[in-house]
Amino acid sequence: MAIVLTACSTPAKKGGETASAFIGETAVTSAIDRVMGEQTAADRLLVEKGVRHAASLWREEDGTAEEFADFASANYISDPAKRKGVFIKISNYLESLAGNMNEITLDLKKILDEAAGDIDEVDRMFGNYSVGSHLQSDFYENKIAFVIALNFPYYTLEEKDKLGSGWSREQWAMARLGDQFVSRVPAELNQKANTALGNAEMYIAEYNIHMGKLRTDDGRQLFADDMVLLSHWNLRDEIKSNYADMETGNEKQEMVYKVMERIIRQEIPAKVINNPQYEWAPYSNKVTKDGAAADASAEPDTRYSHVISIFKAWKAIDPYNPGMNTAMLRSFSGGMEISEEDAAALFNEYLSSPQLRQLAEIIRERLGRDLRPYDIWYDGFKSRSSMPESMLTAKTSALYPDPAAFRAGMPDILIKLGWSPERARYLADKIVVDPARGSGHAWGAAMKGAVSHLRTRVSDKGMDYKGYNIAVHEFGHNVEQTISLYDVDYYTLSGVPNTAFTEATAFLFQDRDLMLLGINDANPEKEKLQTLDAAWSLMEIMGVSLVEMGVWNWLYENPEATPAQLRDKTLDIAVEEWNKYFAPVLGVSDSPLLAIYSHMINTPLYLANYAYGQIIQFQIEEHLKGKDFSDEIDRMYSLGRLTPQQWMSQATGTKISAQPLLRALDEALK
């Protein structure tokens, strides 16, 4: 929802700023006493919590301290029945606002997000416009925000986890309404942040490498003429797909790795980005056109300029978030509702596990060679790793020649996963499929009656296997988005605790992609191999997450850094994390590869959600054993937006932990 701004009681980090409260303690106490004197049946604890929360948001332009007391007296609702009625009304209004603004945003970003023709500057201007940027300011000005803050006060994460197990669904929904107004960010700052993010998104969406134009130093072409791969997603997946190619696969992997290094170091020639007119030899970094040498000037530090633009836009918002005055706090303790410190401790514990070295030995034996940095994406534990991608693409392109065909096939996918035909149609009817300009994504609806959008790349030759694999992943997101909106009892509880939980659903779907194609794995070692694959994949994404966390903490310590300085520091951090955790496992040092993820540029501070998503996915998979997949997915995702630990406890009976995966890994390694 456009106006959701969560917070927590975690102390502000060094480097952040806070805005001072306008209403002093004496005025707050006086307002509390006045409300209690006028509404003697009111619960004093709730009155105190509501008045204090509203007072923390009140500014001089809102009125004097006396006017604040008058407002609290006139608007506090002590009668439970009346309070519930007002809560339902507010929920309906918020659904209308958030839902319709979401539909407008989809329309404005259509040209940017979908493969829908050339992008003109006016498309960027409309696509980067935030329709909800003034909503928060308007709600403070017309006092709606204060009515909500006063009557539905904010509970910290610690309070939710402590009290939440005893709350009813209604109490949870009211507590989530209390999360709506915890800061006051000027509309122009929200708009600047949205513009910075939109520009970064467009930069990444058009960062294509024309693989058919790559050359070895002796002039050989390794990739098909028409192969175009988006960085980093498609480049990574190309590395994965080549484990099945025993003849030229390793040479292709080495070339893709060199391309990635050039991108990270900003050594890639500007002319070869999203441009099929030039041949490029990544090893020598020479560029030619029609056999003649061409300008090979490197891309300026554009990649890192976008990160700095987003950092500055978010840092400008810091003073307006009293409890969460850094982007790190807002992303972790606020958005994920898991502290950065807890995430870092979990990642460190897992990455230091001795089992990972044993796992690397298995991979080394399977490959018959020393490990290389790109083997963090080793895909050989999956059934598809032994299947030529051309065979899989032949199957997917025949099934899904265009986005409409994939949409038509969604009910059958759901039926194969266990849903009844009626339920499958119910879910699929609420999802549409669009051709993506970028790698693909899922965009959920925000009100009942609207549909979720699945975006994936489909060429004129049909959906290749890479596109299909991504589409199944995004379809998992869409199914979660539909269940957690349409089947949750209160609108303010719609959704999931954080994006790691929707990633978990997407992974559950994605891991079943071959089964959905009718390719069944009869290998008796299948479950053990899945554990090995999950453990290796989790290692990779945790390392990437730690790099990004290190980069953002450094930015707060060096807020005036230039793009070149950020580039150099990102490389330093990536190599440092690599040498700490990955060099002992893979046996190769000093690789910057962990800095390749495009999320760091266009979706900052999101990567940790993938790591948690994989942990949650494994725990859910363990829970699903012996149970009906579709019934359990329906049940779990209708829980809505509880806190992460509360959701996991109710969904699976356990809290979030990597220990179940490590125990399973121990057994598999035996």
Q: What is the pLDDT of residues 552-599, one digit of tens each?
A: 999 999 999 999 999 999 999 999 999 999 999 999 999 999 999 999
Query: What is residue 654's DSSP assignment?
Result: S
Q: Are residues 663 and 563 in the same domain?
A: yes
- Residue 228 located in a structural domain: no
Q: Are residues 440 and 547 in the same domain?
A: no
Domain count of the chain? 3
User: What is the model's pLDDT at position 15?
Assistant: 42
Tokens of 407: 């949409």
Average pLDDT over residues 437-465: 90
User: How many CA atoms, within 13 angstroms, populate the side-chain half-sphere of residue 446?
Assistant: 20
Q: Are residues 425 and 454 in the same domain?
A: yes
Q: Are residues 660 and 587 in the same domain?
A: yes
Q: Are residues 173 and 53 in the same domain?
A: yes
User: What is the model's pLDDT at position 389?
Assistant: 85
Q: Is 446 left (phi over 0), alpha (psi -120 to 50) or beta?
A: alpha
Give residue-wise pLDDT tens across range 498-549.
988 998 999 899 989 999 999 987 777 888 998 999 999 999 999 999 999 9
Last residue of a domain, one of 477, 495, 516: 516
Dihedral angle, C-alpha 253, 259, 261, 267, nearest 10 °: 160
- Residue 313 located in a structural domain: no
Q: Count CB neighbours of 576 within 10 A.
A: 15
Q: Are residues 354 and 493 in the same domain?
A: no
Last residue of a domain, one of 179, 212, 227: 179
Q: Are residues 549 and 647 in the same domain?
A: yes
pLDDT bucket at 384, cuts 50 / 70 / 90: low
Give residue-wise pLDDT tens across range 305-336.
999 999 999 999 999 887 789 999 999 988 89
Last residue of a domain, one of 123, 149, 179: 179
Average pLDDT over residues 147-168: 92
DSSP reduced 3-state for 3: coil
pLDDT bucket at 31, cuts 50 / 70 / 90: very high
The whole-angstrom separation of Cα 478 and Cα 651 is: 19
Span of 124-138, 347-361, 460-474, 640-654 with lowest mean pLDDT: 124-138
The whole-angstrom separation of Cα 339 and Cα 334 is: 8
- Residue 6 located in a structural domain: no
Choose between 321 and 658: higher pLDDT. 658
Span of 84-88, 123-127, 358-362, 577-581 with lowest mean pLDDT: 123-127
The whole-angstrom separation of Cα 473 and Cα 441 is: 9
- Residue 122 located in a structural domain: yes
- Residue 424 located in a structural domain: yes
Q: Are residues 357 and 443 in the same domain?
A: no
Tokens of 404: 């409409």
Q: Are residues 559 and 646 in the same domain?
A: yes
- Those residues whose C-beta lies under 8 Å from the C-beta of residue 233, and which sit 6 or more positions away, are 439, 470, 598
User: What is the model's pLDDT at position 459?
Assistant: 85
Dihedral angle, C-alpha 84, 90, 96, 102, nearest 10 °: -110
- Residue 606 located in a structural domain: yes
Q: Are residues 30 and 175 in the same domain?
A: yes
Give residue-wise pLDDT tens across range 17-27.
444 578 999 99
Residue 386, pLDDT above cutoff 70 = no
| Chain CA centroid to CA 208, Å | 21
- Residue 198 located in a structural domain: no
The whole-angstrom separation of Cα 414 and Cα 480 is: 12
Give residue-wise pLDDT tens across range 602-650.
999 999 999 999 999 999 999 999 999 999 999 999 999 999 999 999 9
- Those residues whose C-beta lies under 8 Å from the C-beta of residue 50, and which sit 6 or more positions away, are 76, 149, 150, 151, 152, 153
- Residue 206 located in a structural domain: no
User: What is the model's pLDDT at position 3?
Assistant: 33
Range of the domain at 417: 394-516
Q: Are residues 36 and 115 in the same domain?
A: yes
Q: Are residues 633 and 531 in the same domain?
A: yes
